[in-house]
Amino acid sequence: MLRSFRQVFKSNRTPMAAVMIVVLLGLVAYLAPTGGAVSSDTVVARVYGHEILMRELGERMQELYQRYGKQASPETLRPFVQSQALRDLMNQKLMEELAERHHVVVTDEEVGARLRAFLRQYPMLLDAKGNLKTNAELKQIFQDTGFNPAMQERSIRSELLRTKLVQQAALQIPVDEAWIIQENRLRNEKVAFQQATLTVDPSTVADPGDATLGALYSAGSDRFLQSPRRVIQYVIVDRAALSKDLQVDDAALKAAFEARKGDTTEFKARHILFKAEGEAQVQEAMAKAQLLRQRLVKGLDFAKTAEEQSEDPSAKGNGGDLGWFNASKMVKPFSDAAATLKTGEISQPVRTQFGVHLIKLEGRREKKFEDVKAELTREITDSRFKSRAQERLEQIRKRANGGDLAAAAKSLGITATLSQPFANEPTAQTPGLPELPQILGEVFRLKVGEVSKPTALGDRYLLFRVQEELPEAVPPFGEVRSKVLAAYRLEEARKAAVAKAQQALKAGGLQAVGPVTDQAAAPLSGLRDLVAHPGIRKALLDTPIGQATPVLWTQDGKLWVARIASREPAPALTFETRRNLIQDVQTTEAQKLLSAELQALDRQGRLRPGFSSLWGHIGGIYINATAAQVPVEE
């Protein structure tokens, strides 16, 4: 049966053909300037020997376009869709690799059974006896509705694979009596309490001087251990460095104005939309629009009709008014139709990816050269700066030939700078390079001695070389004095806060600690932010009614204390509830283990990105940068 569905899909490319051709041709056109020959069989990535081809990337993009495509134009969505598609495919290949390592197999029979069960949910796919219709009938329905059975098959196979991996892992997780009792209490025991928090402000603690800080540093130097740090040599090109190359004269501006004449015409229009998916719905919408047009031409109020009948949500409240727009702001069939209308005229039904439209043109105007001169100047300047900056940095890169950048940069009148050492952490900083967090991933991905590609950083372009890597170590006191001071201030501020809270509890209760909030009786499992903290979870479970919990610190650094008002014990566990609870706990923990194992496999694979070696074909994670050219989340 599954093979039959595959044959139906393979012989039924019509609903997908246009989108697939656009996606694949768009990818090839987008990637062609890289200099690599890109085809549907090009390997975009290899995950532990599992290949991802350009064809698969295009198919996954098509699936995502079906989900997101009507929210914006394909061009706008492409960077996001392409990146997400590659990430999804890589995750799937990681799952397949993990399944192989754990000897987990999903058969065609299992997928076929799930697919048949899924299809039987839809009466239109069933015959009079409740069985699935013939392949020929299904093919026609799939074609009319745009349903892709192969897409559903892949989704089912992936879900079955994940489910089996979770089930296998769950069986390996021992759950003892104490765990079950605590979990039952968290889920079913109802606790009411009052809680107060106190925000600590370390900045109010004075700097005690080097003697005190030095003693803290010496007593706990391991606290200031820094992970491996890197130093980069970098070259920056900004607009000031290329000011002469960026000057734009009137001749260039007028040439640009003439070249974009089509975009200088603006239209003001209203529209009525009938949404439609699939050929049958489109034909129905076309007929409905044609009948409505006849009434509109005879004098029916267009704006009022748009309010009442348009299926575009934005038409409600404004009579379908689209305001002023040029051709580039609308999909081509819509803008082409608007361009042929005279003011006051109503179009024939116009089909677009959103459905079927009726358009009424209410105005047309031409932008003059002076109106767009500033915009053109900005566009040409930006374009020139981008190309000149990349060209200049690429020259430095080639002249350096993988070595020191200083001499190559100096030959072009630019200075190369050495950064201070920094670690791979979000708060990393180095003087002169405020954009450092944007390139951290690339800095620590490259090997020592490797040179980056020219990179845009806001209004500047950067080229850098990984100069050296410093091993994990405790830096001299002078380098980390600011961190030692921060640690001292936090400790002192916390000591003062705890003393204040304990004194306040003795004197005036929770109100004297800080703002008090009441928590009505409810299971603690619903208070995820609180019970995620082991200390707070234990305090809320163990503290007797009427007493205050110990003073603790929340994950966001606030002092926290509570007074238990009441408890309603959890019902005793029966055989059935105990079994269900154990299975639930095991499944939850297995899902965490699976996610952790996949992340570890991903990290391990990225340490071996080689492609040409034998290892690169059977292990590790390789991304074909020439073919992919998309940002992939690390």
Closest CA to 435 of 414, 415, 460: 460
Q: Which residues contact 190 (CB under 8 A, 6 or more apart)?
A: 521, 522, 523, 567, 568
What are the tokens at 354?
Answer: 């959103």
For residue 83, give the DSSP letter: H
Give the rounded percent of residues in the chain with a pLDDT score beyond 70. 86
At residue 73, the pLDDT reads 57
At residue 444, the pLDDT reads 92
Closest CA to 109 of 147, 164, 156, 141: 156
Name the residue type at position 437.
Answer: P
SS (H, E, C) 100-127: HHCCCCCCHHHHHHHHHHHHCCCHHHEC
For residue 508, name the pLDDT band (cuts at 50, 70, 90): confident
- Whole-model pTM: value is 0.57
629 pLDDT higher than 70: no
Classify residue 130 as left (phi > 0), alpha (psi -120 to 50) or beta. left
9 pLDDT higher than 70: no
Where do we find the tokens 């939309």?
Answer: 273
Mean pLDDT score, 475-484? 88
Give the rounded percent of residues in the chain with a pLDDT score beyond 90. 45
At residue 613, the pLDDT reads 47
For residue 261, name the pLDDT band (cuts at 50, 70, 90): low
Structural contact between residues 511 and 505, judged by C-beta atoms closer than 8 angstroms: no
Average pLDDT of the chain, as a whole number:
84
At residue 38, the pLDDT reads 63
Where do we find the tokens 């105007």?
Answer: 365
At residue 262, the pLDDT reads 56
Q: How far apart are CA 293 and CA 271, in angstroms?
A: 11
Helix (H), strand (E) at residue 464 = strand 460-470
Q: How far apart are CA 191 and CA 547, in angstroms?
A: 13
Structural contact between residues 505 and 550, judged by C-beta atoms closer than 8 angstroms: no
Helix ranges (DSSP H) in 318-429 = 332-340, 369-400, 406-410
What are the tokens at 457?
Answer: 């950083």
At residue 35, the pLDDT reads 42
For residue 166, name the pLDDT band (cuts at 50, 70, 90): very high
Render pLDDT for 324-339 as a digit per residue (tens, 0 to 9). 888 777 888 898 898 8
570 pLDDT higher than 70: yes
Render pLDDT for 186-211 as a digit per residue (tens, 0 to 9). 999 999 999 999 999 999 999 999 99
At residue 277, the pLDDT reads 79
Q: Concatenated DSSP letters for 56-80?
A: HHHHHHHHHHHHHGGGS-HHHHHHH
Q: How far apart are CA 229 and CA 469, in angstroms?
A: 6
Helix (H, G, I), strand (E, B) or coil at 323: strand
DSSP β-bridge partners for residue 523: 190
Render pLDDT for 100-111 as a digit per residue (tens, 0 to 9). 999 999 999 999
Q: Which of 115-129, 245-259, 470-484, 560-574 has the lowest mean pLDDT?
A: 245-259
Mean pLDDT score, 417-428? 89
Cα-Cα-Cα-Cα dihedral of 617, 622, 626, 632, to 10°?
Answer: 160
Structural contact between residues 353 and 337, judged by C-beta atoms closer than 8 angstroms: no
At residue 4, the pLDDT reads 55
Question: In degrees rounded to 5, what are phi and psi of residue 275?
Answer: -70, 145
Where do we find the tokens 């980390």?
Answer: 480
DSSP β-bridge partners for residue 357: 273, 350
Q: How far apart are CA 195 and CA 600, in angstroms?
A: 39
Q: How far apart are CA 632 and CA 623, in angstroms?
A: 9
For residue 27, name the pLDDT band (cuts at 50, 70, 90): very low
Q: How far apart are CA 187 and CA 578, in angstroms?
A: 13
Mean pLDDT score, 26-44? 58
Render pLDDT for 41-54 as a digit per residue (tens, 0 to 9). 888 888 988 888 88
What are the tokens at 230?
Answer: 């890197």
93 pLDDT higher than 90: yes
314 vs 397, higher pLDDT:
397
Q: Tell me the pairing of strands 43-47 and 321-326.
A: unpaired
Q: Which long-range contacts (CB under 8 A, 24 or more apart) does 357-361 make?
A: 357/271, 357/272, 357/273, 357/274, 357/289, 358/271, 358/272, 358/289, 358/292, 358/293, 358/296, 359/269, 359/270, 359/271, 359/334, 360/269, 360/270, 360/271, 360/296, 360/302, 361/267, 361/268, 361/269
At residue 628, the pLDDT reads 59
Judge residue 301's burial from the number of C-beta atoms within 10 Å of its C-beta, 0-12 exposed, 13-18 middle, 19 or more buried.
exposed
Beta strands in 427-459 (DSSP E): 455-457
612 pLDDT higher than 50: no
509 vs 550, higher pLDDT:
550
Structural domains of the chain ordered from first start: 2-171+595-628 (1.10.4030), 190-203+479-568 (3.10.50), 224-245+374-470 (3.10.50), 252-371 (3.10.50.40)
13 pLDDT higher than 70: no
Structural contact between residues 368 and 212, judged by C-beta atoms closer than 8 angstroms: no
At residue 390, the pLDDT reads 87
515 pLDDT higher than 80: yes
Render pLDDT for 215-244 as a digit per residue (tens, 0 to 9). 999 988 788 888 899 999 999 988 877 767
Q: Which residues contact 187 (CB under 8 A, 6 or more apart)?
A: 523, 525, 570, 581
Q: Which of 339-353, 443-457, 524-538, 618-632 has the lowest mean pLDDT?
A: 618-632
At residue 22, the pLDDT reads 46
What are the tokens at 582?
Answer: 């154990």
